[in-house]
Amino acid sequence: MIIDTIRWNKTNVKLIDQRLLPGELKYVECFTDKDIYEAIKKMKVRGAPAIGVAGAYGVYLGARESKAKDIANFKKDLKKTIKYLAAARPTARNLFWALEEMEKVIIKYQDKSISLVKNMLFKKANDILKEDIKICRTLGKHGAKLFKKNSTVLTHCNAGGLATGGYGTALGVILSAAKKIKQVYADETRPVLQGGRLTVWELVKYKIPVILICDNMAASRMAEGKINAVVVGADRISSNGDTANKIGTYNLAILAKYHKIPFYVAAPVSTFDLLSKTGKDISIEERSPDEVRKMGNKNLTVKNVRVENPSFDVTPVKLITAIITERGVIQRPTRTKIKKVIE
């Protein structure tokens, strides 16, 4: 099952406005790099691989708008576009990876005409999207082998088709293992509710049994033996395996360790950041306090109370049972094992 999270639409990029789900399935059209920047920043499109794909199309749209008459000025325009798009969100490695891939195309064809570079950038963005779907399917197949019959699995945030080109990482594993999965527990995932809104929406669509729980309920479900495994996605993985993912992932990893439940991270190779030595090197996005203070327009607390709202946390590698990638499963990840698979 593939979700059309983000697609090329004749003259523009069409993407699902994920802020409106599950109430409304509405698409927005992006015609410029500014539209893509806004879509990423405001989380119309979210999830590490999906914002990578969006970023790639953003570079093409920026190239399309350039009025440069010679390749040197065209390159200058593109440099600005890439810098601009890179500032949309800081944590997901895939955005930066995709922008770097687009930059390689510019460098490769810098001796050619502007129109050829534009065509090659368009092709590359389409390839990144197509590849992502393929990669997630492969990753899903590798991950599915880790599950026994009648498994019950907990996931956090949304690492599904909506967070990628259409198939999903953690949910891709669950989809691929669907015949062996008796029950999925979905964490609600405060404050943006990606679990409650998006993961539940996807799992209902796939007809995979799902139970929604609030984030603070996982421990009690584990203690009662209701959860056999945890599988989550990732926004950035350091070279030692420390993993940044949606805030609350670290809590689950600690709980899983205490209850002797395997804790799996599912992510494509493009999520690894070999330049970051440990999780300490990962920049964690701080989002608006109103995400915590309010639900829609309704105040949930005392107006203007001080809030901290880190969007991600880092799970230390020692809490991770395995990292599932398209190149295979890295059991008990270490720097050496990661290097061998990723490089």
Binding footprint of ligand MRU on the chain (CB under 6 A): 46-49, 92, 157, 159, 163-164, 169, 194, 233-235, 245-246, 311
Q: In the complex with ligand MRU, which residue's Cβ is closer, 109 or 262?
A: 262
Residue 139 φ then ψ, to 5°: -60, -40
Using CA atoms, how far apart are residues 121 and 326, in angstroms rounded to an integer? 24
Residue 194 Cβ vs ligand MRU, minimum distance, rounded to whole Å: 5
| Residue 259: DSSP 8-state | T
Burial of 47 (0-12, 13-18, 19+ CB in 10 A): buried
Q: In the complex with ligand MRU, which residue's Cβ is closer, 233 or 333?
A: 233
Q: Which two tokens stand for residue 133?
A: 């779907």
Angle between helices 33-41 and 71-86 (to 10 degrees): 10
Give me the catalytic one of 187, 235, 273, 313: 235
Residue linked to tokens 């999780």: 279
Which are the contacts of 54, defined by CB distance < 8 A and separation ≥ 6? 6, 13, 15, 30, 36, 39, 40, 45, 95
Residue 146 Cβ vs ligand MRU, minimum distance, rounded to whole Å: 17
Residue 243 Cβ vs ligand MRU, minimum distance, rounded to whole Å: 10
Q: In the complex with ligand MRU, which residue's Cβ is closer, 47 or 279?
A: 47
Which are the contacts of 110, defined by CB distance < 8 A and separation ≥ 6? 71, 75, 117
Decide if 17 is catalytic: no
Q: Tell me the residue nearest to ligand MRU as measured from the CB.
A: 233
Residue 132 Cβ vs ligand MRU, minimum distance, rounded to whole Å: 10
Catalytic residues, by residue number, are 235
